[in-house]
A and B are shown apart, each in its own frame.
Chain A
C-alpha cells in the first residue's frame, strides 16, 4: 500500500511516498523498518507506543492502535506534528 512519509523522515526514505505491505498498521511499520532501517524507532518507542508528535492516518482516519487491520488498497499517511522552538 501507499505510505506517505513526513519531511522529518525523508533522510530515511529519500522519497515522500513509499510502498509497504502488512495486515496491520504495526506490520506496515515493521516492513517500513526492513526497507529503511531505524525509521520505526523514530516513530514508535520501545514499549510500542506511538511517539508524542507522530500521528498516523489510514484513509484519512486517525489511528492510535498499531493492531488496526489495513488492506493493500488503503493509504497510510504519517504526519509529524510541529511544536517547540
Chain B
C-alpha cells in the first residue's frame, strides 16, 4: 500500500451500513439549520432557521435514537442554555438545568458558564448519557438525555486543572473551550477531552481521575512543552473503526496516537510545505482508520487562520499520515480567504463517504466522493460554528 495513490475512493472490508438519508446539522452564530438530503445526497431540503439570533455552538443528533437533538445555545445578551428536541427539531424544550459551575463558597469568586461549546453523546451502552464542554473550560454530564446537567469528574474545581486551564485571557477570542470529549465505544469508563488551552487528558476510571496525555506534542517556540498549560489542541478525533487510534489537529501540527502508546507522533510533517499542517478541524473515515481529512489554514506570522494563499483545499491521507494528497476539485482557485472552525467539518457514514464543511463566511460545502469533487450546498448563512452529519431514524 505504501506510496500507492488510489484512484477511487477506498471502501474498506467493513462495508457501509445500508444507505439511510443524511441530515446535515449546521450551527451558526445566528441560529441553526438542518439540511435533509435525498437518497443520492444531491438535493437538500432546508429546515431553518431554528433559534434565529441565538449563538448556536453545537447541534448534535443522538445516534442512539436518531430523533433527539441537542443544541448548545446562548444569545449575546442572555445566559447560556441547552435546547432539546425529541422530534428532530419540530419542537424544542429547554433543559431544566443547563450546564453551570458549582456555586462558590462565600467570599470566593466562582466561575460562570458563558456558553456550552461541545456536546458528545455516550455510546449505546449508556443510554441518555451526554457530555458537554463549556467556555470557560468545564466538563459536564447529563444522565437524562440532556434535561439536567451536573459538573463532571471534579476537574472544574481541581486546583491543578484550574492552573492548566488558565484564565479567559489564555483562550480563544471568544473564550477558552473544553472540546473533543470522546468516550471509548468499548468502555464508557475510558474518556478523553481536550482544552483549547490546557492539553489533552484521559481517564480510565470513568472520570474519577484524569491525567494529561501530551507527550510528543510540540508547543509554541520559546514555551516549555513540559507545562501542560502551554498545549493547544484544536481538535481530537478517535478512529471509529479502531478506537486505539486517535488523531489530533493541534496549534503546532497534526498528530497520531496509537494506544497503548502515550506519545503522539507528528504525521503532519509529510504535508506539503505550501499548505503546512496547521488547521482547526480533523475528520477520520468511519471505516478506515488510515484515512483522515484535514483543512489547512495559514498559521504563519500573525496567524490569519485563512486558507493558505487564499486557495482553499482539503488534504487526505490514506496511510495514517505517511503521505497526503490535495483535494480542491470544485473549490475556488483564488481570493477565497476561508476559515473552517474546529467543529465545522465532518463526514457521513455512507459509501463513498460524504464530507461537509462550513466556513466562517457562511458557506456550506459537500463532497459525495470523499473529497475529490466539492460543491456548494448553501451560501449566505451566518458565521458557521459547527457542522455535523447524522442519520435520522
Residues on A close to B: CB < 8 A? 8-9, 37-38, 41-49, 51-54, 80-84
The CA-CA distance from A51 to B114 in the complex, in Å, is 10
Closest to A38 in B: B94
Task: List residues of chain A with CB within 8 A of the CB of B98.
Answer: 38, 41
User: Could you pull out 14 A-B pairs where Cβ atoms are within 8 angstroms?
Assistant: A9-B78, A42-B79, A45-B100, A45-B113, A46-B100, A47-B103, A49-B112, A51-B79, A54-B78, A80-B77, A82-B77, A83-B76, A83-B77, A84-B77
Whole-angstrom distance from the CB of B16 to the nearest CB of chain A? 40
Indicate whether B226 reaches chain A with its CB closer than 8 angstroms: no
Whole-angstrom distance from the CB of B246 to the nearest CB of chain A? 33
A47 pairs with B110, CB closer than 8 A: yes
Indicate whether B393 reaches chain A with its CB closer than 8 angstroms: no
Q: Please tell me the size bucket of the interface on B.
A: 20 to 34
Whole-angstrom distance from the CB of A56 to the nearest CB of chain B? 14
Task: List residues of chain A with CB within 8 A of the CB of B103.
Answer: 46-48
Q: Mostly helix, strand, loop or mixed at chain B's interface? A: loop
Whole-angstrom distance from the CB of A14 to the nearest CB of chain B? 14
Closest to B51 in A: A11
A46 pairs with B113, CB closer than 8 A: yes
B76 pairs with A53, CB closer than 8 A: yes
- Top 8 nearest A-B pairs (CB, nearest first) are A45-B112, A46-B100, A53-B77, A42-B78, A47-B110, A84-B76, A42-B79, A38-B94
Task: List residues of chain A with CB within 8 A of the CB of B100.
Answer: 41, 45-46
Beyond A46-B110, A47-B110, A47-B112, whether A41 also contacts B79 by CB under 8 A is yes
Closest to A49 in B: B112
10 further A-B contacts with Cβ under 8 Å, apart from A47-B103, A52-B77, are: A8-B77, A45-B100, A46-B103, A46-B112, A46-B113, A47-B104, A48-B103, A51-B78, A53-B76, A81-B77
A42 pairs with B76, CB closer than 8 A: no
B79 pairs with A37, CB closer than 8 A: no
The CA-CA distance from A43 to B81 in the complex, in Å, is 11
Interface residues of B in 65-92 (CB under 8 A from A): 75-79, 81
The CA-CA distance from A3 to B100 in the complex, in Å, is 26
The CA-CA distance from A80 to B76 in the complex, in Å, is 10
Whole-angstrom distance from the CB of B322 to the nearest CB of chain A? 45
Whole-angstrom distance from the CB of B65 to the nearest CB of chain A? 24
The CA-CA distance from A80 to B75 in the complex, in Å, is 11
Task: List residues of chain B with CB within 8 A of the CB of A81.
Answer: 77
Most buried by A among B76, B103, B109, B111: B76
Closest to A9 in B: B78
Closest to B114 in A: A45
Q: Which of A38, A54, A80 contacts B81 (CB under 8 A)?
A: A38
Closest to A82 in B: B77
Indicate whether B220 reaches chain A with its CB closer than 8 angstroms: no
The CA-CA distance from A21 to B88 in the complex, in Å, is 38
Task: List residues of chain B with CB within 8 A of the CB of A51.
Answer: 77-79
Closest to A11 in B: B94
Closest to B79 in A: A42
A37 pairs with B112, CB closer than 8 A: no
Task: List residues of chain A with CB within 8 A of the CB of B81.
Answer: 38, 41-42
Q: Which of A37, A43, A84 contacts B78 (CB under 8 A)?
A: A43
The CA-CA distance from A2 to B96 in the complex, in Å, is 25
Interface residues of B in 31-83 (CB under 8 A from A): 75-79, 81
Task: List residues of chain A with CB within 8 A of the CB of B76.
Answer: 53, 83-84
Whole-angstrom distance from the CB of A52 to the nearest CB of chain B? 8
B96 pairs with A38, CB closer than 8 A: yes
The CA-CA distance from A49 to B79 in the complex, in Å, is 11
Beyond A38-B94, A46-B103, A47-B103, whether A80 also contacts B78 by CB under 8 A is yes
The CA-CA distance from A43 to B101 in the complex, in Å, is 16
Whole-angstrom distance from the CB of B6 to the nearest CB of chain A? 46
The CA-CA distance from A84 to B76 in the complex, in Å, is 7
Q: Which of A44, A45, A54 contacts B77 (CB under 8 A)?
A: A54
